[in-house]
A and B are shown apart, each in its own frame.
Chain A
Amino acid sequence: MNAESRKKALRFLFQKVIDPLGYKFSPDEDLVEFLLDQEVLLEQKHGIPYCPCQGLTKKREENMKIVCPCIPFHREHFDAMRRCWCGLYVHKDVTNPDELRQIPITEIKGS
């Protein structure tokens, strides 16, 4: 399967996972395309489409928490930002993703 086809397949699969979680793909289509491109590359390299904005380590159980869509493992954090860390997904009611900022987990837990 070429990269473009795999990207379409990931988009289809991810949609089914995020919808019941209350999320949708970001309306920023350029960002979505870029992130899906990166995930296809990460999948080619590691066999799994990991989040392009979080770091892999040697700990498999930790890496499993950043397999896209990683929303269930970071629910409190992402719900507070109304987006996932990389911005691929946003809450369904978000119309302008540019208004949403990355907020570190320490600030959310400390608030």
Chain B
Amino acid sequence: MNVFMYTLSTCPWCRKAKIFFKSNNIPFDYVDYDLQPEEEQEKIMEKMLKMSSARSFPVVRIGEQIVVGYNPEKYSEILGLKKGVMA
């Protein structure tokens, strides 16, 4: 299942989310919003507001499902992990 995240380089919960997927050997891609050029940030924020109605990070897309925030239980449930390794 494809995993993609919008993250902030300053956000500890974004770091925990990355560690969660690494620890569970789940490949993922991510974009650090705050490290993008301004015009790219605008495009990302537009997508994020459509997905979550908020500017809160991390925003994690697992397959077709969107999870806003660090929620390892929810990630595990969607991925079908029995008990995910927590960050």
Interface digits, B68-87 against A, CB 8 Å rule (1 contact, 0 not)? 11110000000000000000
Q: State the CA gap A106–B69 with chains docked (Å).
A: 12
Structural contact, B42 and A58, CB atoms closer than 8 A: yes
List, in ascending order, chain B residues with CB within 8 A of A57's CB.
41-42, 45, 55
Verify if A18 is at the interface (C-beta below 8 Å from B).
Answer: no
Interface digits, A83-111 against B, CB 8 Å rule (1 contact, 0 not)? 00111000000000000011111100000
Verify if A21 is at the interface (C-beta below 8 Å from B).
Answer: no
- Residues facing B in A51-83 (CB within 8 A) are 52-58, 62, 66
Structural contact, A35 and B12, CB atoms closer than 8 A: yes
Structural contact, B57 and A53, CB atoms closer than 8 A: yes
List, in ascending order, chain B residues with CB within 8 A of A15's CB.
none
Q: How many residues of B contact A (CB 8 A)?
A: 23
Task: Using CB atoms, name the residue of chain B closest to A102.
Answer: B69
Structural contact, A52 and B11, CB atoms closer than 8 A: yes
Structural contact, B54 and A31, CB atoms closer than 8 A: no
Show 25 residue pairs from A and B whose CB-CB distance is below 8 angstroms, ordered by the A residue: A31-B12, A42-B10, A52-B11, A53-B11, A53-B12, A54-B8, A55-B34, A55-B41, A55-B56, A55-B57, A58-B42, A62-B55, A66-B55, A85-B56, A86-B11, A86-B13, A101-B70, A102-B13, A102-B56, A103-B69, A104-B54, A104-B56, A105-B52, A106-B52, A106-B68
17 further A-B pairs in the complex, CB-CB below 8 A; given A55-B41, A62-B55: A31-B12, A42-B10, A52-B10, A52-B12, A53-B8, A53-B10, A53-B12, A54-B55, A55-B57, A56-B34, A58-B42, A101-B71, A102-B56, A104-B52, A104-B56, A105-B54, A106-B52
